[in-house]
Amino acid sequence: MTCIYQTRVTNLGKMVTNFLVEKMIILFKDNAPEDLADYCVLHSENQVFDVIQEQDVLVLGDAEYKILCVGEEVQSNLQNLGHITLRFVGSRTEGLGGSLYLEDKAVPTIHRGDRIAIYRK
C-alpha cells in the first residue's frame, strides 16, 4: 500500500459531535480560524504525498472507508489549509467541492491522538 496522506488528531472542537449525526467530519489544521475551530477535528502535520483518487482508502483510527468521490477542491484545500469535509454518505452531494465522499458506514468515534491516513492499495 502507498500512503497518500497522513496526519494525527490533536484536538476536537466542542461542536464536532453535532456533525456526526449528519455523517460528516470537518478536518482543519491546528491553525483553524477561531470561529471555525469549535466545529472541527483539528490535526497536525498534514503530510500530502500524492493526489487523492477514487478507490483510495481513508483510515480513521481503526476504521477503513473506501473513497467514492473526491471533490474538485479537496486536493488544494488539504494541501494549503489542511481543511476538508469527510462525508460518510455513499454518494456525492451537489455543490460540495471541498468534500471527500466515503462509503455509507457508521461514522467512527474520534479521539485525540488518532491517526488519519489515506492509502492506495
- One digit per residue, the tens of pLDDT, for the chain of length 121 reads 899 999 999 999 999 999 988 999 999 999 999 889 999 999 998 999 999 999 999 999 889 999 999 999 999 999 999 999 999 998 876 667 999 999 999 998 899 999 999 999 8
Whole-number Cα distances in Å, 98 to 27, 87, 93 = 11, 10, 11
Q: Which pLDDT score is estimated for 73?
A: 96
Q: Which pLDDT score is estimated for 45?
A: 87
Domain count for the chain: 1
Q: Which pLDDT score is estimated for 93?
A: 67
Domain with 93, as residue range(s), is 2-120
In whole angstroms, what is the distance from residue 88 CA to residue 100 CA?
A: 9
The CATH code of the domain that includes 112 is 2.40.33.40
Q: Which pLDDT score is estimated for 94?
A: 64
- Please list the active-site residues: 43
Q: Which pLDDT score is estimated for 57?
A: 98
